Every structure is written in C-alpha cells, then in structure tokens.
A and B are shown apart, each in its own frame.
Chain A
C-alpha cells in the first residue's frame, strides 16, 4: 500500500516538476515575432522608436511612466508611476513615482522625467510621438515637486483618459546622469551603440548588436521586477517568413510566426506546437486621397460606404487567414468593450457586407452600370488605383479578393505595387500622386482620431476634412467620460474616411522546450520576457 502511494505520488509529481519554470539558457527568436514580419533593430532609444522593432527593443530596456495592458488598463506593477491624479478633472496631473533604480544603482527621479521631456521638445516634429496625446505642445509646464513627485499642467482641460493613455504615457524617464553630457546629435548617432545604453531600468540590457544580423539582450541584474528565466534573449533579423519557419524547424529559432501560406503544413511539425495570439492592435486599411482632383468621387460618403459594403471580409478571413482573424468596419483596433460604443459592443455597424446595399448606394449617387457591368456617371467609369507595398503574400491575396469584390459591385480598383519608401513619399507628396494606398495602421491606446482625421492633422495624408468629425474628435479629447469617444467611433464608422479590412490573428510556432508564449506577447505588441520559461532540464 505504501509502495503504491509512493508510486502514485511520483506519478503526480513528475509532470508538476516538468512544468516548473526552468532556465532556457539562450532563447533565439525573430524580431517582430507575434506581431509582424522580421526586420532590423536599428535603434535602442525610446526617443527614436519609429519602427515597431525599435520601439519593442527600447521597451525592454526602459520602463515607461505607465504601462497599458491589452485591455487599455494601467498595469501599475509594470509602471514607474505609482499613482496619477487630476485634482481639477483634466488640466493638472499629479504623478508619483514608485521607488525604482537605474541599473547602476542611481534612483529614478523626476529629474529623469524632466530630462526626457526636454529631449522631446528639442526633437520637435521628428519625435515619433509628436502630436499624439498633444505631446509636447499641450504641456504648458512640467513642475518638479520633489524627487518622486511632479506636476504636469496642460494648456487646457482635456479628457484625463485620453491624456494619460496617449500623452502622459510618453513621458518615459531617461537616465539624465548618464546622457545629459551628450548633445542631441550625439544621442542620435549613438542610438544603435549598445554601450550607450549601459544604464537602464527595464528588465533587460543590450549586450551586443550585430548590425543587420541580431541583437542580444541579457537580464538586467539590478532589475527590481520579476526574474527572467533565461541567460540571453537573442532577436534575429530574418529576410523572410520562410526563413523563420526553417529556423524553428531546424532548431535555430525557438519561436516563429506562422505565415498563412504555410498554414496547412505547419500544424503537424514534430517538436513544435502552435499558439494563437489574440487579435493585434493593428489593422489594414486603404487610405483615400481626397486632395486628388481625379478622386473627387471619394468625397461622396455613399461611394465610400458602398465600397466597404461590397467587400466580404469573412470570406477573406476564411480564404487567406484560415478563419483566424476579425473583420473591421471602422478605423479602430480591437478594443476592450469599455472603449467601444454601445452599438459596436453589440456588433452593430452602419456598414458591413451587403452587395445589394452597395449597388443601391451607388445608384443613389448617380451611378449606373455600363455594358461591361462597371459603374459609370456622366460617361466616366468608377475607377481608381490603389498602391500597396511589395513583399507580403497575405496582403497581395487580400487585395486581390477586395479587388474582385469591388468589381462585382461595379467598382474598378486597379492595383499597383511599389516599395514602401516610395509609397510613403507619395502619401505626403503632390496631391495628384496617388488615389488610394494600402497601409497597416495602429492608433494610440485611446483611439481618438486627432492624428489621422482631424483637418490638417499630421498623419492625415489624404486631406480628409469634415467639420462634424473635427467636432467629435474634439469632444472625445476634451470632454470627460467616454461618450465623446463613442460618438466619434459611430460617426467614423458611418463616414469611412478610410476603408478598413480584416487583420489576421497571429499564430506563433514554438519549440516544445519553450513555454509562456501566450503571455509573452500581448495585443499591443508588447513583450513580457519574464513570461518565457523552459521545461526544467531542457537547454
């Protein structure tokens, strides 16, 4: 009996022991895993994080004032601020820093916050977050109260949720005692030099960057947060999705994104399992150029709604994304219910796949089908050219399906592939340089549209302008509560200033030895390195 009990105990203990968080030694993963195709890390500076990969790297080295989780809630355990209050409901913000230290033992203080703000001001419009959350122009002054308390006074009263999520979150303390003797030019030129970033307060430190090849991070020994379960975390830059798959199959990589094109073959690979991540906070859209005289028809909201109604996004999700994706009917990321308007919460949108409604809208706008079935008005065909950048098979397939659906409704969308750089240059070039462009988009944590849809906004490359939209954006920013946001969202979906389409859920391939992948990456493309661990005894 005793022997039986002992054997039973051993049987139960074995899996429990196996599930304990063992050290992984070196973990090797592609950059952008769980979010996007791999690309270079070219900067570790939070100031110059213009690319996703650079921003992710910087977030591993430096903690932000606040950390927003996938539910758009502040995770205080990962934030340098321990409290934020606004005694006057939106003009003044009192911030308290928690006790925290840089990796060289120097305390993180309000001097580091003011230093970061000075650098942001000095960068001007080249600061990646310029304009988001009003940064930096909405800040009237930043007053230091003591080493752990400071006060931000804005030029006017704003919605605190908007400002904290989009604006205050950018005030990331930087090591003043280590950087202040460098000029901005020197900081710029050192942004990819690991030794420049030897003073950090985040979970990791950068050990080495092999430009164009890999970046090696090691745990910050002075980090006061959760312990890491690895000795080194290596981010590899890989040229293609195929290289990622081959890497994980051959054992060179521990994780890789599963491209939709290889969906069927990759689910039964030996020694590898799949993890489906929640929908990311990005989406795909076709931006429309309202400045181009040849696209004057786009100013008619009936045409825009008709285009959105003509496309069967669920079919795209089924055919291209193998069922793993979510349709999008407004220029918004997947949001927690609190951030969605009541109508959107129940799945009600003014647009959605309805080809009959699309044709009816076109008829209302004065279009009739020609002999070839394509819509015409005053002898002119309903036709435009959409640009999209090269290199992604999923995008190509999705665009082709959209094109086919639009043709069924009588809308002739021609497509042209160009390099991404040239696409961006055209977006901000002469008005007649483009009509429509396929872009992957994200938004701030609080999805107000002041950067994209307000008249004259910096990222409003298509020149969209609507007085009601401006009014609702202002309401979402300046009025308390979320009703202003809800009204903006509903109007946005009705107006369709851009055409939005489904984004695939990301599926990650992971080698059997590595665990915690589902918690390692969140929908906001944040990495939580402490979540990765290996089976004890594996290497």
Chain B
C-alpha cells in the first residue's frame, strides 16, 4: 500500500514539475530580460541565452534538468549567480524558523481556544471566540501585517518593521533575530489560529455530543478525565489532517507575509523567481513543495493512525 502510494506520489510530482517547467519556459520573456534590463537588445538577449543554455530546444533543456537532478544538482540561479542548492538552504533556514515557531504557537493556541469554544458551545465564551475567529479569518494577511507594523514599529517603536536582524549591529545576537520574528510570527499566528481553532472547536463540540462521552459521564468519570483522556484525542484527528496539509508551508513559507516584512524566506524567493523568470529556482521550489505536500499527507495519516488505531492503511 505504501509502495503504491509512493509510486503514485512520484508520478504526481513528475507531472507537477513537468507542467511548471514548460509553463515557465513558454511564458513570454525570460531571464535574459531580467538580467539585461533596459540594456536588452535582440542581439544581447540572443547571446546571453546562448551563454545560459537557454537557446537549446525546450525538450532538451527539460531532459538536461532531470539529468542534473539525478546527479544531485539543482542548477544555478541566472539572476543571483549562486548555486540554487545553497540559495534554497539559506532561505530555507529562515523559513523553517519562522514557520515552525508560527505553527507550534498556532497549534497550541488553536487547541486552547478550540477547547474553550467546544466546551462552552452556545455560551458567551464560545460566541466571543467565534466572533474573533471570523474577524481574523476575514482579514487579509497583508492588512494584518501592515497594521502590526504601523502600531508596534512606527508608532510605538517597540519592534522592528522588517528584515531578520538589526543591521546596525555588526554581530546581531539571538535577541535581534527574535525581535524581528515577533511581528511576522504574530501575523501568521492570527491568520492560522482563526481557522484552525474553529475546526478544533467544532470537533470538540461534536465529540462531546457522542455516546461514549455520555456513557462515561453516566459511569461517573470526571469531565476533565473525559475531556483530556478521550475527547481531545479524537478531536485532534481533523486538526492533524489540516496540519499535515500545512506541513509544506513550514518549509516553503508564504509570499504575502514574507513580502510585507521583507523576510527572506522561501515563499518570497519563489515569488521573486517567478517574476524574474529565474527558472532554476522556481522549478526547484515547486519540486520541494510537491515532495513536502506528499510527505505531509503521509505524516498526517501516520499520526492519525497513532491517534486512532482503528484507522487502517491497507
């Protein structure tokens, strides 16, 4: 079963990468125009394309790309003049830190808020949380980010507006990096908790209405024991599935929040690579997203299996 699943996943990734490769290369323009800018002439573009190997037929470039991939090479960024692998790693670390903190914080807060919402369903705490969830869900990410910067950076000068460290310090410490993470993490957390906590709240409420809970209560088991011993465990399953789907974001980040905060993460890199048609970076990131999405699903299924032994993978 797992072998079949891996085979179909591999096929999916192959199709995804192929589609993106051809779509990127067939889009009018090309990296030569990004590199040459206003100095681009027909002759200079042609010469530069020859230097970059972009004058070969697309099918040949495609095969060369796969050949290099099997050799462990992701290519060379046309614009940034760096090996793609080292670039991805540099940006990846930033994204990993950012989104891991965000997801962990979001998950913890979502469980807490969802628990309260589910337990007090129909009462004012649940309604208050519901209202906040709706507000948070409706707000666009760039708006939340911009407002946080306006208040905490511009008005109050409590936190930096953008970047990853204080550039005025020759050797910025951990504190500097942490301070620059606060607003981006808060932004992502607000946006994530709004939806995630609602899912969990609904799941908790649904579990609390089930027969086994009623039976346990009738047998005299304490509410806390039922809640923490059974309800949460069962209510976590849909949350785990959603987190599994969110797994790629830990590695690939998000374009909007990273752009607003000028945070050099993978999402930001992907966006800029797409705009400047820096194909090697763009296709490498798509490959990573594809692999991670599949891994994330697999991981979610495994965790769900641990949470509920009745789940079967055969």
Contacts and interface: CB of A to CB of B under 8 A. Distances in A.
B262 interface: yes
A421 B87 contact: no
Contacts of A501: none
B23 to A, nearest CB: 14
Interface in B10-69: 27-30, 33-48, 51
Nearest to B265: A212
A214 interface: yes
Contact of A238 (B79, B150, B162, B168): B162
B76 interface: yes
B161 A50 contact: no
A255 to B, nearest CB: 13
B80 A211 contact: yes
Contacts of A216: 167
Contacts of B275: 419, 421
Interface in B155-206: 157, 160-164, 167-170
B154 A246 contact: yes
B216 to A, nearest CB: 54
B30 A428 contact: no
A459 interface: yes
A239 B163 CA distance: 11
B268 A249 contact: no
Contacts, number: 145
A249 B275 CA distance: 29
A421 B41 contact: no
B106 interface: no
B40 A28 contact: no
B30 A458 contact: no
Contacts of A212: 80, 91, 264, 268-269, 272
B167 A429 contact: no
A239 to B, nearest CB: 5
Interface of B: 27-30, 33-48, 51, 76, 79-82, 87, 90-91, 146, 149-150, 153-154, 157, 160-164, 167-170, 259-260, 262, 264, 268-269, 272, 275-277
B39 A128 contact: yes
B47 A126 contact: yes
Contacts of A236: 163, 167, 262
B40 A252 contact: no
Given A124-B47, A246-B149, A421-B33, A192 B81 contact: yes
Contacts of A28: 167-168
A182 to B, nearest CB: 14
A211 B94 CA distance: 13
Contacts of A242: 146
A41 B37 CA distance: 13
Contacts of B164: 213
Most chain B CB within 10 A, of A189, A246, A250, A440, is at A250
Contact of A428 (B42, B47, B51, B277): B42
Given A188-B51, A211-B87, A246-B161, A50 B276 contact: no
Nearest to A51: B37
B162 A246 contact: yes
B80 A126 contact: no
A50 to B, nearest CB: 5
A210 B264 contact: yes
A275 interface: no
B25 to A, nearest CB: 13
A125 B38 contact: no
Given A252-B153, A458-B44, 4 more contacts: A126-B48, A192-B80, A211-B80, A239-B259
A214 B153 CA distance: 20
Q: Give the top 7 A-B pairs by smallest Cβ distance, nearest first.
A: A421-B29, A458-B41, A425-B29, A424-B33, A250-B153, A125-B43, A192-B81
Interface in A451-499: 458-459, 461
Interface string A35-55: 000001011000000110000
9 contacts: A26-B170, A28-B167, A42-B81, A43-B81, A51-B37, A126-B48, A243-B162, A419-B29, A424-B40
Nearest to A419: B275
Contact of B37 (A50, A251, A252, A428): A50
A210 B268 CA distance: 14
A167 to B, nearest CB: 16
Contacts of B264: 210-213
Contacts of B272: 212
A422 interface: yes
B28 A125 contact: no
A395 interface: no
Contacts of A193: 81
A420 B160 CA distance: 31
B177 to A, nearest CB: 13
Most chain B CB within 10 A, of A26, A40, A239, is at A239
B153 A246 contact: yes
Contact of A250 (B161, B260, B262): B161
Contacts of A130: 41, 44
Interface string A228-247: 00001010111110110011
A499 B41 CA distance: 20
Contacts of A429: 28
Most chain A CB within 10 A, of B29, B43, B47, B264, is at B29
Most chain A CB within 10 A, of B33, B39, B40, B76, is at B39
Contact of B27 (A126, A239, A422): A422
Contacts of B38: 50, 424, 439-442
A506 B160 CA distance: 26
Interface in A24-70: 25-26, 28, 40, 42-43, 50-51
A138 interface: no
A448 interface: no
Contacts of A458: 41-44
A114 interface: no
Nearest to A254: B168
